[in-house]
Amino acid sequence: MSIIPPVLLVGLGKMGSAMLGGWRERGLAPSVAIDPLLPPSPGPEVTVVAGPGQLPAGFAPAAVVLAVKPQQAAEALPPLARFAGSAVMLSIMAGKTIASLRPWLGDRAAIVRSMPNTPAAVRQGMTVACAGAGVTDEQRALCDTLLTAIGTVAWVDDEALLDPVTAVSGGGPAYVFLLAELLEHAAIEQGIPADLARTMARQTVAGSGALLAAATEHPALLRRNVTSPAGTTERALAVLMADDAWPRAISCAIAAATARSRELAG
Instruction: Decide: 136 and 110 in contact? Cβ < 8 Å.
Output: yes
Longest CA span, the chain: 71
- Identify the CA nearest to 20 among candidates 7, 2, 36, 35: 7
Question: Is there a single domain that holds both residue 54 and residue 181?
Answer: no
Q: Which of 124, 140, 162 is the last residue of a domain?
A: 162
- Identify the CA nearest to 257 among candidates 119, 165, 160: 165
* Residue 36 one-letter amino acid: P
Q: Tell me how far apart the alpha carbons of residues 44 and 30 are, in angstroms, rounded to a whole number.
A: 8
Question: Is there a single domain that holds both residue 177 and residue 158?
Answer: no
In a domain, 192, yes or no: yes
Taken in order 63, 33, 19, 113, is the CA torsion positive or negative? Answer: negative
Q: Which of 162, 184, 211 is the last residue of a domain?
A: 162
Question: Is there a single domain that holds both residue 158 and residue 195?
Answer: no
Task: Provide the domain limits for residue 205.
Answer: 172-263
Report helix, strand or coil for 247: helix
Question: Is there a single domain that holds both residue 78 and residue 126?
Answer: yes
Question: Is there a single domain that holds both residue 122 and residue 187?
Answer: no
Question: Is there a single domain that holds both residue 190 and residue 112?
Answer: no
Q: Which of 95, 130, 162 is the last residue of a domain?
A: 162
Question: Is there a single domain that holds both residue 69 and residue 95?
Answer: yes
Provide the total of helices (H) and of strands (E) in the chain, helices listed first: 10, 8
Q: What is the pLDDT of residue 266?
A: 67
The CATH number covering residue 36 comes to 3.40.50.720
Question: Is there a single domain that holds both residue 98 and residue 215?
Answer: no
Q: Tell me how far apart the alpha carbons of residues 173 and 185 are, in angstroms, rounded to a whole number.
A: 18
Taken in order 24, 126, 223, 219, is the CA torsion positive or negative? Answer: negative
In a domain, 151, yes or no: yes
In a domain, 69, yes or no: yes
Question: Is there a single domain that holds both residue 37 and residue 129?
Answer: yes
Estimate to the nearest angstrom the gap between the alpha carbon of 233 and the chain centroid: 33
Question: Is there a single domain that holds both residue 117 and residue 228?
Answer: no
Question: Is there a single domain that holds both residue 143 and residue 21?
Answer: yes
Q: What's the whole-model pTM score?
A: 0.93
Walk along the chain (266 residues) in steps of 10 and give the mean pLDDT of each run: 90 96 96 94 93 95 96 94 95 95 96 97 98 97 98 97 96 97 98 98 98 97 96 96 94 96 84
In a domain, 230, yes or no: yes
Question: Is there a single domain that holds both residue 19 and residue 127?
Answer: yes
For the chain, what is the domain count? 2
Q: Which residues, other chains included, contact 254 with Cβ-Cβ below 8 Å and sequence gap of 6+?
A: 164, 167, 168
**DSSP bridge partners of 125:** 151
Q: What is the pLDDT of residue 64?
A: 98
Q: Tell me how far apart the alpha carbons of residues 108 and 212 are, in angstroms, rounded to a whole number.
A: 43
In a domain, 242, yes or no: yes
